[in-house]
Amino acid sequence: MAKIAELLSNGFTFSVELWPPRTEEAEARLERVLDELRSLQLSFVSITYGAGGSTRERTHDLVVRLKNEYPAVPMAHLTCAAHSKAELVEILDRYLQEGVENILALKGDPPLDAAEGLEEGELVHAIELVELAKSIGPFCVAVAAHPEGHPDSIDLRSDREHLAQKLRKADFAITQFFFKVEDYLRLMDDLMALSVEKPVIPGIMPITNARTVYKMAAMAGTNVPEELSRRVELYADKPEELRGFGIEVATSLAEELVEAGVPGIHVYTMNQAQATVEIYENLNMSSRVGR
């Protein structure tokens, strides 16, 4: 199976994030989403992870299934939270045996039902998980980046230094979603000043639901610009108009990022396909991917 670092070295990538289904209804919806996304020239698909068991096995099963059946390369999320080092070794070994070699290493948030004493995990920081994966096998390991700084960081400078340390060990990064291209460009300037030049793929999330975007932004430490927020409020009771506006905003941001020379675009789909398909088509991505 191809490693994502190799895909990045060969040209532009277009990728998406999905999460494993928890119910039969969600499973049926995911199947429809996968079918719709199959028409796109996706470079890779990242699959989220519930450390406490809510989606733990589902993540593994979905990643392995996509590896065997889907045209895009799957990448498994893995977190330090709520795990002993031995458990993480076991999970990584299983992936290696299944031929899965792309991992997104995260600190993660401890689930409410985490075992006592393991809420934060035996490994404390994502960089330790990067090092563990690299010590076990030929994994291609990604890490998360926050253009506006991690919400738990002391300040932006320390956040950048921490990210630089992770990226020196990892192969590439994917950002949390953001709304201003300047935030991404400042992130890249800061990393270059720290002598780090690994690829950083910008993540974007089309606004299709007002409540969801504010909730996700608060969790990710993403600022919703005042003008954007005003426009979202105008469409609060007009879902189709909000959806069209959200796709327009995401397309415009992606166009600016492509013009700035980013290595790829990563879309947070919220397990919905149509907005991603429209953004892909708006950007004429079929002529860009892999080049």
Q: What is the pLDDT of residues 146-198, one digit of tens each?
A: 999 998 889 999 999 999 999 999 999 999 999 999 999 999 999 999 999 99
pTM over 0.75: yes
Per-residue pLDDT at 30: 95
Q: What percent of the chain has pLDDT over 90?
A: 81
117 has a pLDDT exceeding 60? no
- Greater confidence, 217 or 130? 130
Q: Which two tokens stand for residue 66?
A: 């996509």
Q: Is residue 240 over pLDDT 80?
A: yes
Tokens matching residue 83: 């795990």
Residue at token pair 């045996």: 97
Between CA 168 and CA 198 the distance in angstroms is 8
**How far, in Å, CA of 91 to CA of 103, rounded?**
11
Helices (H), 235-273: 239-259
Q: Reduced to 3 states, what is the DSSP secondary structure of residue 289?
A: strand
| Predicted confidence (pLDDT) at residue 217 exceeds the cutoff of 60 | yes
Q: Band of the pLDDT at 15, cuts 50, 70, 90?
A: very high
200 has a pLDDT exceeding 70: yes
Query: Cα Rg for the chain, rounded, in angstroms?
Result: 18
Asked if 88 and 116 touch (Cβ cutoff 8 Å), the reply is: no
Residues 86-101 have pLDDT tens digits of 999 999 999 999 999 9
Q: pLDDT band for position 1 (50/70/90)?
A: confident
Is residue 111 within 8 Å of 50, Cβ to Cβ?
A: yes
Instruction: Look at residues 72, 134, 135, 82 and name the one whose alpha carbon lies nearest to residue 103.
Output: 134
Q: Where does the pLDDT of residue 213 fall: very low under 50, low under 70, confident under 90, or very high at 90 and above? A: confident
Tell me the one-letter amino acid at 81: A
Of the pLDDT bands very low, low, confident and very high (cuts 50, 70, 90), residue 119 is low
Residue with the bigger pLDDT between 110 and 80: it is: 80
User: CA-CA distances (angstroms) from residue 205 to 1, 105, 202, 247, 251?
Assistant: 27, 21, 10, 9, 10
The pLDDT value given to residue 110: 65
Residue 242 belongs to domain spanning: 4-287
pLDDT in the model for residue 51: 55
Other Cβ atoms within 10 Å of 18 Cβ, number: 22
40-59: pLDDT as tens digits: 999 999 999 975 555 678 89
The residue annotated as part of the active site, out of 6, 17, 36, 256, is 17
pLDDT tens readout for residues 30-44:
999 999 999 999 999
CATH number at residue 88: 3.20.20.220
Number of structural domains in the chain? 1
pLDDT of residue 112: 52
pLDDT of 118 higher than 80 = no
CB 150 within 8 A of CB 221: yes
17 is catalytic: yes
As a whole number, the mean pLDDT across the chain is: 92
Q: Residue 251: which pLDDT band, with cuts at 50, 70 and 90? A: very high
Cα 183 to Cα 165: distance, rounded to the nearest angstrom: 20
